[in-house]
Structure 1
Amino acid sequence: MVSEDWYTINDIEKLDTPVLVVYPARVKKNIDTAIGMIDNVARLRPHVKTHKCAEVTRLMLQAGITKFKCATIAEAEMLGMCKAPDVLLAYQPIGPKLDRFIRLISLYPNTKFSCLVDNLPASVGISEAAIKKEIKVPVYIDLNVGQNRTGIKLGDVALALYVNCQALSGIEIVGLHAYDGHIHQPDLAERTEECDKCFEKVVKLQSEIVAMGYPKPVIVAGGLPTFPIHAKRKEIECSPGTFVYWDKGYQTSFAEQNFLPAALVVTRVISLPNETTLCLDLGHKSIAAERELKTRVYFINATKLEAVGQSEEHLVVEAGKDHKYKTGDVIYGMPYHVCPTVALYERAITIEDNKMSGEWKNIARDRKITI
């Protein structure tokens, strides 16, 4: 049975706000839950964009996870520093980013780094950079399965890119990457139907590649919303990310996934501007602000508060008449989107047994660590 006051920090008077707090026991539980949703831990390739943290990465390594996905060079370097065996940069490195990526491969030789490509000129650039260093870079063909963000269109053009890349001596095609981030229907049956429809085209491409005599390419597919669907496919790798901390947005939309909130923002009432409103120290710089105002943060211990205004350092909320709030009152908030919220904080304070126990640096929130 989950304790209703699991989030309470008994020595909160020592903690300045706004602050990001993380509950390690819950993080470990979420890692175990993700592993339990798939038949083989070797098929898990978690995305580290949510936590950006070496301590969380090490917990995953200790749990038997050896493959990871990331979006930035800093995240990739953090994984190299943790001696992660297999790291996919889910990004196509162009210009200075390619130079940094090649340097990363040299600096962390015990980690197998790979990246995405979705066009021939970029593939040629990566190949030429690799040849200069006398290495071969593993790559995945990035497929556009409907999100229309990155990736090459499925069909003949994708097959042609695969064939053309095979002729480039500086790269080695490992597989196909299919991120279906546009699929997020709350109803699991509807989500599954749409996911299966998209995935059929990926399997068709894989079959065409094999029919041409090439080795069967690995498929890396999905994110968190389609994780329960792809987890049932016996051969593909799955890339959930948000599960490790969870958030209110996913908790609301994907009720079939039993992850626990493991990261919160803590704020205080700093002013009472009038008889019905409060001002909290939770501005744009402290909580992800890309969503509509009322769905940026959910207050666990103050569920009736309604956000009515926000600026850089302040969040104004409506409390109603005759409320009992006072300046200094502590409020615990669950972000609706935890990934960009984490990126706003240099560190997270760890909470164990309802008390502060240390801190985890979000070292990959910066664009650069050393490279």
Structure 2
Amino acid sequence: MRIDQLDTPSLLLDKDKMEANLNEIADFASEQRINWRPHIKTHKCLKIARRQIEKGAVGITVAKISEAEVMASGGVKDILIAYPISAPEKINRLSALMKDAQIKVAVDHVKQAKLLQDSLQGTPWELEVWIKVNSGLNRCGVEPGREVLQLAKQIANMPNLTLTGIFTHAGHSYAASSMAEIESIALTEGRAVAESAALCEKEGIPIPARSVGSTPTYKIAGKVSGITEVRPGNAVFFDAIQVGLGVASIDQCALRLLASVVSKRSGERVIFDTGSKALSLDQGAHGNATVKGFGHVVDHPEIRIERLSEEHGIASIDGETTLDLTDKVQIIPNHACTVMNLFDHVIVHRQGIVIDQWRIEARGKVQ
């Protein structure tokens, strides 16, 4: 079957484009002699996670315990939960998960560490923890340098916790207005981790993993001396935000939405069958202003999706368009991660010919 014969809306994954994107990350990590631990919140799919590991990833990164549970049940054995955990319900789930995989957990406060330690007190279990450093996003994370060292010393006195890493996420790179600004953010990102790790090691606290990542910055931050790992997520697919930032080209975008024209008013608008339940309302995180509208309609620069209701994508027409009722188009989403989370499966194709259908096992896993 050709992809243009599919019902709409359908989520499409170009396997060749994805493979090329994965090769680019793997090659970078190999050239720098560092590890690669992709963030799977972008794809939430076991087949893709396994493919990343086949290409050399040392493990994966997840945002939530529920994602880790899905990945561990599917055979992924090395997982960083890059999210602070302190609620008793989640700590109980974490204890169970430790039996199935090598888990690493983010901490950015001594109270979190104490709660984790208390839950493991008297057990034979040792939990790896990684300190989250704030490198400018001003979300989670302790400040680099002395705050990292202080927390590291406190963790060192907790017998069931082992500090094995320091990491950060420069998500504010998504708001950058130029590649020069992205480079500056990336260098700050890498130095925040590397210098904090060096300070800890000077005090006798070894830090084997020094991890950075974000799709816009990983190729720069990953070259900072002392960094041992990168964690790009979106780079498996890319999307309209990455194109707007100058990080990727339209041709590299592997994830697209197949949509149909369901209504048209000549000279004014066309309506696609892809509303907020298919494209999401995301126009970019952390102040990004590079995207216009709600997705890039491939090969139709005259069309801009101006509004989304739940089931309708309302697009304006700049001049004339050849699009008519029942015509199908491909739309590159603004943010691939949020769109992937809206679908149960993705249609995999090669040069427009359907070759498989992959479940998105961790979609909706937000706890």
Q: TM-score by structure 2 length? A: 0.90
Query: Aligned to 1:49, what secondary structure does the other structure show?
Result: coil
For structure 1, which segment, 300-309 or 186-195, has the greater mean C-alpha deviation from structure 2 after superposition?
Answer: 186-195
Q: Which amino acid aligns with 2:198?
A: S
Matched, 1:357 2:355: yes
Rounded Cα–Cα distance in structure 2 between residues aligned with 1:210 and 1:258: 43
Q: Deviation at 1:100?
A: 1.4
1:130 alignment counterpart: 120
Contact 1:261/1:334 (<8 A) preserved: yes
1:100 alignment counterpart: 93
Rounded Cα–Cα distance in structure 2 between residues aligned with 1:321 and 1:145: 45
Query: Aligned to 2:338, what secondary structure does the other structure show?
Result: helix
1:122-271 alignment, distance < 5 Å: 122-131=112-121, 133-184=123-174, 185=176, 187-233=178-224, 235-255=227-247, 260-271=252-263
C-alpha distance after superposition, 1:102-144 (max 9, x if no partner): 21112x1xx3111100111111111121235430110001111
Rounded Cα–Cα distance in structure 2 between residues aligned with 1:265 and 1:256: 18
Q: Deviation at 1:36?
A: 1.5
C-alpha distance after superposition, 1:187-226 (max 9, x if no partner): 3333223332354343332222112122244211121111
1:5 alignment counterpart: none
Rounded Cα–Cα distance in structure 1 between residues aligned with 2:49 and 2:239: 19
Q: Which amino acid aligns with 2:142?
A: I
Rounded Cα–Cα distance in structure 2 between residues aligned with 1:72 and 1:216: 24
Rounded Cα–Cα distance in structure 2 between residues aligned with 1:199 and 1:233: 6
Contact 1:41/1:65 (<8 A) preserved: no
Alignment gaps of 5+ in structure 1? 1-8
Closer, same or farther in 2 for the Cα pair 1:344/1:79, shift >3 Å?
Answer: same
2:26 alignment counterpart: 35
For structure 1, which segment, 188-197 or 22-31, has the greater mean C-alpha deviation from structure 2 after superposition?
Answer: 188-197
Rounded Cα–Cα distance in structure 1 between residues aligned with 2:181 and 2:154: 37
Query: Aligned to 1:204, what secondary structure does the other structure show?
Result: helix
C-alpha distance after superposition, 1:79-104 (max 9, x if no partner): 31343342100011121222212211
Query: Aligned to 2:84, what secondary structure does the other structure show?
Result: coil
1:296 to 294, 297, 305: 294
Rounded Cα–Cα distance in structure 2 between residues aligned with 1:61 and 1:208: 32
Q: Which amino acid aligns with 2:279?
A: I
Closer, same or farther in 2 for the Cα pair 1:84/1:258, shift >3 Å?
Answer: farther
Closer, same or farther in 2 for the Cα pair 1:34/1:259, shift >3 Å?
Answer: farther
1:6 alignment counterpart: none
Q: TM-score by structure 1 length? A: 0.89
Rounded Cα–Cα distance in structure 1 between residues aligned with 2:202 and 2:261: 64
For structure 1, which segment, 264-273 or 253-262, has the greater mean C-alpha deviation from structure 2 after superposition?
Answer: 253-262
Closer, same or farther in 2 for the Cα pair 1:151/1:321, shift >3 Å?
Answer: closer
Rounded Cα–Cα distance in structure 1 between residues aligned with 2:124 and 2:197: 29
Q: Which amino acid aligns with 2:329?
A: I
For structure 1, which segment, 333-342 or 92-101, has the greater mean C-alpha deviation from structure 2 after superposition?
Answer: 92-101
Query: Aligned to 1:331, what secondary structure does the other structure show?
Result: strand
Matched, 1:88 2:67: no
Closer, same or farther in 2 for the Cα pair 1:129/1:56, shift >3 Å?
Answer: same
For structure 1, which segment, 266-275 or 28-37, has the greater mean C-alpha deviation from structure 2 after superposition?
Answer: 266-275
1:317 to 294, 315, 318: 315
Contact 1:243/1:259 (<8 A) preserved: no
Report sequence identity in percent. 22
Q: Which amino acid aligns with 1:265?
A: L
Contact 1:66/1:84 (<8 A) preserved: no
Contact 2:189/2:221 (<8 A) preserved: no
For structure 1, which segment, 129-138 or 166-175, has the greater mean C-alpha deviation from structure 2 after superposition?
Answer: 129-138
Q: Which amino acid aligns with 1:329?
A: D
2:10 to 14, 19, 25: 19
Rounded Cα–Cα distance in structure 1 between residues aligned with 2:348 and 2:334: 20
Closer, same or farther in 2 for the Cα pair 1:190/1:47, shift >3 Å?
Answer: same
Matched, 1:68 2:56: no
Rounded Cα–Cα distance in structure 2 between residues aligned with 1:257 and 1:232: 23
Alignment gaps of 5+ in structure 2? 284-288
C-alpha distance after superposition, 1:312-367 (max 9, x if no partner): 10011122565433211101101121111111111101112422222111111122
C-alpha distance after superposition, 1:43-65 (max 9, x if no partner): 11111111100111121122122
Q: Which amino acid aligns with 2:130?
A: Y
Size of the aligned set, in residue pairs, is 357
Q: Deviation at 1:153?
A: 2.1
C-alpha distance after superposition, 1:277-322 (max 9, x if no partner): 1111110111121218933200113221022332110011122565
Contact 1:22/1:349 (<8 A) preserved: yes
Rounded Cα–Cα distance in structure 2 between residues aligned with 1:165 and 1:76: 23
For structure 1, which segment, 227-236 or 66-75, has the greater mean C-alpha deviation from structure 2 after superposition?
Answer: 227-236
Q: Which amino acid aligns with 2:147?
A: V
Matched, 1:115 2:105: yes
Rounded Cα–Cα distance in structure 1 between residues aligned with 2:145 and 2:34: 29
